[in-house]
């Protein structure tokens, strides 16, 4: 028998490391994890608490496919944020479109430069 314990990391495909880093670091404020292992392809790792986001610079097999307009209807990575309104303002400043959660939660959805869907859900920080 086994028990799943937690999510260790999530991998997202990207096509341009510089462009992806401008979004994830410059807009979202993440810091790269220097312990990224050497791989046969380029990429960048970010650590959020006990979880990591791995951006992999590899061909996207879904490139060119039509995606749902609202990210909540698409596969996505959900990230906790302390102030969704503040994030919305930052995204608007950078011309990044987003949609608010249709459930009424304090959450929004946007896409990164490679069309990966990200959900940002406001949680209370204790």
- Domains in the chain (CATH in brackets) are 9-59+68-122 (3.10.180.10)
Q: What is the mean pLDDT of residues 78-95?
A: 95
For the segment 33-50, the average pLDDT, to the nearest whole number, is 88
- Give yes or no for residue 30 having a pLDDT over 70: yes
Question: 20-34, 61-75, 100-114: which has the minimum mean pLDDT?
Answer: 61-75
Beginning with the edge strand found earlier in the chain, give each strand of the sheet holding 98-100 in spatial order.
76-81, 117-122, 107-111, 98-100
Rounded to whole angstroms, how far apart are CA atoms 89 and 91? 5
Confidence tier at 80 by pLDDT (50, 70, 90): very high
Average pLDDT over residues 79-94: 95
pLDDT of residue 126: 67
pLDDT for 88? 96
> What's the rounded Cα separation, in Å, for the pair 98 and 95?
10
Note if the pTM is more than 0.95.
no
């Amino acid at each position: 028998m086994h028990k799943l314990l937690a999510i260790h990391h999530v991998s997202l495909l990207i096509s341009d490391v510089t462009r992806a880093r401008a979004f994830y670091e410059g807009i979202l404020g993440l810091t790269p994890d220097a312990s990224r292992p050497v791989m046969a392809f380029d990429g960048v790792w970010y650590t959020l608490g006990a979880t990591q986001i791995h951006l992999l610079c590899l061909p996207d097999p879904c490139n060119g496919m039509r995606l749902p307009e609202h990210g909540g209807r698409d596969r996505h990575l959900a990230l906790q944020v302390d102030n969704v309104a503040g994030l919305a303002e930052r995204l608007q400043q950078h011309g990044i479109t987003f949609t608010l959660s249709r459930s009424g939660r304090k959450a929004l959805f946007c896409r990164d430069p490679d069309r990966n869907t990200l959900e940002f859900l406001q949680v209370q920080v204790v």
